Structure 1
């Protein structure tokens, strides 16, 4: 990862520009105007695009078929962007109140090619994958450190605060920090509360660095035993990974996941009770898997599936490699695991 004061062009950028040029050539266009955080961070080497975490980008970019890039930046952001985030681009400055995405004659709007752009950024390139592996290791280690030191009297807010701190000290932004104590294990997205953790707790994080997102879920228990569903949900996850074969529509993958739940002892409609996740990378889900999603699985694509049932959930960020190979990016060797179809999967950290 480059230092904040020395933005650098990634060796992957020429290939990304070539992928954009292919889109433009197919569309008979000369340029496209990128306005989303995902597209901008992907093309521009993981640049931080927003000021409020999760807010709208403070710059946009016109990418031409010849590979030149012109950034339009708000006046109060342009100097910082040039010094700390963006390399190898021309920067045009507009007033801080001016629109970044007005219609541009002869230039495609990103919304016109959003599906093609998602496909262009789906297959990870070598420098991206290297950054992703480092981020995954850091996020997993942060989770291990925080949960190893947890106690049942901590509140959900306190545990989320410790997790957020651990991620930030590693240079990663906490895009998501969720905690469910024993009383809230049936909440799909447990925004932290003042409730104590109690006998058992779940922590969920999505960490972002260099534009990339790592999602990870872990459980810790202080008393009692794990529910039977904790082992069965790992089988649903393994089915999700097996379904991610290159060329398959994302909607078909989701159909396989839906059928997996009852096969492993869950209700027929279990998949409807929480979203199941999907591809990831430069967005938390890029896109979230839905029944009608036509995006196709790509080689070397990152996924973060999150099978869930009341009281049980599993989630890691993985890359599907050649054949059936699954590389778990968000793994920590110190976390307890069981083997599921040849892959080490996390179990609850036992602090009884």
Structure 2
């Protein structure tokens, strides 16, 4: 970690300690026990406590108190966690290393006995305050905005590199998903979602888990990618040969819906009103019922979506915050991750912006231009390799 990165981490953790200490006071708790991967990453400004990928809870807990933190993990995990994840933590840190054959629960029971301790997992009978912790994750801090910009740029680079250079007719969706995952891992990004659809599966399914289906002409690639806990989402579409006129028209329509939702995402605005702006745009484009066929996205950060926008939701757009809207019209979709209010009160910044080599659909909305990724046309004669 560079000196600049260390300074940003100290700044980020200082702000989070203030939020955590206010939460302790409001809940009348002595401490919080943090074990979920998302919350561990949030609390530590990017620390990673996982071993197995397919888990929400990691292999180490932090007991967060106002004046010091305690790492609780087995003797297998404490060396890596203390050196690589918590080594420059700007908080006094104690370490409780439990024998691996015993696990951590007995140690946790000893540490919380007779005290008012909440947790994000309910471990050892502690009250589960995960919902309250999740609310602390917004708004983003300035260092988090800087980190998510890098994640967004590299995630876009990874997906587009595969779609432009490695995609070929005859590949299976599974093969393409593997190539996309490899490109993300090579950039230090963990794939939390990789969806691939070929040809008619793009029309049939909004969440197309990849299969052995071979690509003929049309492909959709969707990813959520994470590093340091922060996640971005994006979708790209490619077509071998000229894009049919009806498909092009549908895609340009969904791009206009996406831009309308982006433009409506302003600090202080009800998220339900952003969804309504999208619904109006669907109606204007002649696809008034399509929004009912798939969720339209919502806030993003330490989860693939911190929450989804719903017509009756009570959430309000905070600043700064990240959002990933994903409107779809049968057979096409538009999705990127934006930062709202990071540079100015109302500014929108597309952190997963497509490269100049990717085709663009220019959309004018609310007095600004919001470029959306078009459908990439590829030569039909490509050979798989």
Q: Does TM, scored on the shorter chain, surpass 0.5?
A: yes
- Structure 1 stretches of 4+ moved >6 Å: none
How far apart in 2 are the matches of 1:139 and 1:311?
Answer: 23
Unmatched runs of 5 consecutive residues or more in structure 1: none
Q: Which of residues 327, 330, 333 is equivalent to 2:352? A: 330
Q: In structure 1, the residue corresponding to 2:58 is in which secondary structure? A: coil
Q: How many residues align?
A: 347
Q: Which of residues 109, 116, 130 is equivalent to 1:106? A: 116
Q: Point out the more displaced range, 161-170 or 92-101.
A: 92-101
Q: Say if 2:276 is the partner of 1:295.
A: no
**74 and 140 in structure 1: CA distance in 2 versus 1, 3 angstrom threshold:** same
Q: Say if 2:230 is the partner of 1:212.
A: yes
Q: Computing the radius of gyration over CA atoms, which structure comes out larger, 1 or 2?
A: 2
Tell me the residue number matched to 2:334.
314
Do the aligned partners of 1:25 and 1:65 also contact (CA within 8 Å) in 2? no
How far apart in 2 are the matches of 1:323 and 1:339?
Answer: 24
Tell me the residue number matched to 1:120.
136
How far apart in 1 are the matches of 2:306 and 2:29?
Answer: 25
How far apart in 2 are the matches of 1:60 and 1:293?
Answer: 32
**40 and 320 in structure 1: CA distance in 2 versus 1, 3 angstrom threshold:** same
Q: Point out the more displaced range, 288-297 or 143-152.
A: 288-297
Do the aligned partners of 2:271 and 2:316 also contact (CA within 8 Å) in 1? yes
Do the aligned partners of 1:229 and 1:312 also contact (CA within 8 Å) in 2? yes
Q: Point out the more displaced range, 140-149 or 332-341.
A: 332-341
How far apart in 1 are the matches of 2:77 and 2:63?
Answer: 18
Tell me the residue number matched to 1:263.
284
Unmatched runs of 5 consecutive residues or more in structure 2: 121-126, 380-385
**142 and 253 in structure 1: CA distance in 2 versus 1, 3 angstrom threshold:** same
How far apart in 2 are the matches of 1:65 and 1:43?
Answer: 13
Do the aligned partners of 1:242 and 1:324 also contact (CA within 8 Å) in 2? no
Q: Which of residues 147, 151, 157 is equivalent to 1:131? A: 147
**113 and 260 in structure 1: CA distance in 2 versus 1, 3 angstrom threshold:** farther
Per-residue deviation at 1:325?
2.0
Q: In structure 2, the residue corresponding to 1:345 is in which secondary structure? A: strand
**216 and 24 in structure 1: CA distance in 2 versus 1, 3 angstrom threshold:** same
**83 and 19 in structure 1: CA distance in 2 versus 1, 3 angstrom threshold:** same
Q: Deviations over 1:313-337 (max 9, x none)?
A: 1111110123442101112333221
Superposition CA RMSD, Å: 2.5
Q: Say if 2:250 is the partner of 1:229.
A: yes
Q: Which of residues 182, 185, 198 is equivalent to 1:168? A: 185
How far apart in 1 are the matches of 2:358 and 2:82?
Answer: 40
**129 and 346 in structure 1: CA distance in 2 versus 1, 3 angstrom threshold:** same
Do the aligned partners of 2:322 and 2:338 also contact (CA within 8 Å) in 1? yes
Q: Deviations over 1:131-170 (max 9, x none)?
A: 2111111111112211112112211111111111111111
Tell me the residue number matched to 1:239.
260
Do the aligned partners of 2:325 and 2:337 also contact (CA within 8 Å) in 1? yes
